[in-house]
Amino acid sequence: MVLPKYDVVITTDRSMMSNYHGKEFLGFVTTGPLFITVGPFRKLGEWIHEYIAMPKMKVDKYGRPYQAPYGMRKIEAALLDAGINAAIIDPDYVHKYIPNAKMLMLSHHDYFGLNPPSSTWSAIVGKEPLNAYSFRRFMMRIRPYIMDAKSRNGLKVVVGGPAAWQWLYLPELMDFFGVDTVFDGEGERLVVDLVKRMLNNESVPRYVYVGVNDVPSIDEIPTIKYPAVNGFIEIGRGCPRGCAFCPVTIRPLRCTRSRRSRRN
Q: Applying CB under 6 A, which residues contact ligand SF4? A: 239, 241-243, 246, 248-249
CB 192 within 8 A of CB 140: no
CB under 8 Å to 151, separation ≥6 — which residues?
A: none
Give the amino acid at 124: I
Closer to ligand SF4 by Cβ: residue 126 or 240: 240
- Output the smallest distance, CB 36 to ligand SF4, in A: 35
- Output the smallest distance, CB 116 to ligand SF4, in A: 13
* Residue in 11, 36, 10, 6 with CA at minimum distance from that of residue 135: 11
- Output the smallest distance, CB 119 to ligand SF4, in A: 18
- Output the smallest distance, CB 221 to ligand SF4, in A: 18
Closer to ligand SF4 by Cβ: residue 100 or 249: 249
* Residue in 10, 159, 161 with CA at minimum distance from that of residue 71: 161
- Output the smallest distance, CB 238 to ligand SF4, in A: 8
- Output the smallest distance, CB 201 to ligand SF4, in A: 39
* Residue in 18, 32, 53 with CA at minimum distance from that of residue 132: 32
Closer to ligand SF4 by Cβ: residue 61 or 241: 241
C-alpha 227/C-alpha 29 separation (Å) is 23
Closer to ligand SF4 by Cβ: residue 205 or 242: 242
Closer to ligand SF4 by Cβ: residue 170 or 246: 246
Closer to ligand SF4 by Cβ: residue 212 or 246: 246
* Residue in 18, 78, 104 with CA at minimum distance from that of residue 53: 18
Closer to ligand SF4 by Cβ: residue 170 or 248: 248
- Output the smallest distance, CB 234 to ligand SF4, in A: 15
